[in-house]
Amino acid sequence: MNFNDHDIRDEKIISRDENNVVLEFVIPASSDFFDGHFPQYKLLPAVAQFEVITRFSRKYFGTQRYVPNIKRIKFSAPIKPGTNIHLELIYKKEKSTVTFNMADADVEGKVYSSGSFAVLVEE
């Protein structure tokens, strides 16, 4: 399975170095992430947000998809289809953690989710 299975394509890299990546992307209404979750008022489920975060962590930092421990996580606002997402991931190799902040790329200060989780590196 790849991101195209969920209609997430062509993420734009805003900045990137060895331990940090900032991306912008859209999860369109056609994404299967929205199937069956509040059919009259589609929202991106929290588990789908975390799915996106761990996939990008793997893609940019080589971490495994298995998350042995979630340190903290907060879901602050609902994400609707077509929202322009701004995602920052910070990989702290010495602590084996990834910290994230998923926000609205068009509305300053609007955060959708944030937190940190333990990771294992792919071998």
Higher pLDDT, 8 or 18: 18
Instruction: Classify the C-alpha dihedral 98-103-109-115 as positive or negative.
Output: negative
**DSSP strand E in the chain: where?**
12-17, 20-26, 70-75, 84-92, 97-104, 111-118
pLDDT one-digit tens code per residue, 27-36: 998 888 888 7
Q: In whole numbers, what is the pLDDT of the chain averaged over residues? A: 91
Q: Which residues contact 32 (CB under 8 A, 6 or more apart)?
A: 5, 6, 7
Q: Which residues contact 50 (CB under 8 A, 6 or more apart)?
A: 73
What is the arithmetic mean of pLDDT over 99-107?
A: 97
